[in-house]
Amino acid sequence: MKKENFLEINRDFSQLSPEEVLSWALSKFDKERLAFSSSMGAEDQVITHMLKTMGLSISIFTIDTGRLYPETYDLIKRTEQKYGFRYDILEPEQTKVNGMVSEHGENLFYESLELRKMCCHVRKLEPLRKKMFTLDAWICGLRKEQSVTRAEIGKIEWDETFGVVKINPLTDWTEDQVWSYIRKNNIPYHALHDSGYPSIGCAPCTRAIQPGEDVRAGRWWWENPQNRECGLHRGPKKKGNLQ
């Protein structure tokens, strides 16, 4: 793929709708080497709806860490039934999970940032990395206003963590836009969103937020806001090229 400057790409794409960004992705990458990563959040449900109603047939995967809410599994089933597809379910290597829990305990993530990152690495990053070896690009539901760690994301980025192109169609959308689209299109969404959970991950590491908190304040809430990522999504470098 020809080298292109990210700043130029994102300037060119600044007025494109999410659907246009998705169409571009399907025209640029082999559909067997492109996939959408869903955490079953509201933004991801929006993108799933767009992909399915546009007839864009690519793999949609999600990670079952083994510590998800029951409502998350229910949403997986409801979404599959509505749109007539099956998620590619990624799972951690159970022997590594068992070893980690045996040495550090079931809830090791509360003890230190290092142990929390270890848990995220074993349960999320390792299975995701295996998937990334099969891809040239992945689509995500990130938005700039979600948190301080995502304020500078672009619609198209080079993912230094996995060495692939990262596509964020909803980066400029507001929370109101997301929910307006969900209601207008009768899209299934996570039941916990109605109980003050705007961002939902593993059950022990997610809580409802308080009025005025940012949408990711309920994720690893005992940590500094600058650390509240699992490692799947790192901030973009100021300069970079598609390769």
Residues in the chain: 243
Which helix or strand (DSSP H or E) is residue 239 part of?
A: none
Q: Is 166 exposed, middle or buried (0-12, 13-18, 19+ CB in 10 A)?
A: buried
* Catalytic annotation present for 119: no
| Rounded alpha-carbon distances, angstroms, from residue 163 to 5, 144, 160 | 16, 22, 5
- Cβ partners under 8 Å of residue 70, min gap 6: none
DSSP secondary structure string for all residues of 134-171:
T-SEEE----GGG-GGGTT--SEEEETTTTEEEE-TTT
Q: How many CB atoms lie within 10 A of CB 74?
A: 14
* Active-site position among 119, 120, 205, 230: 230
**Catalytic annotation, residues:** 230
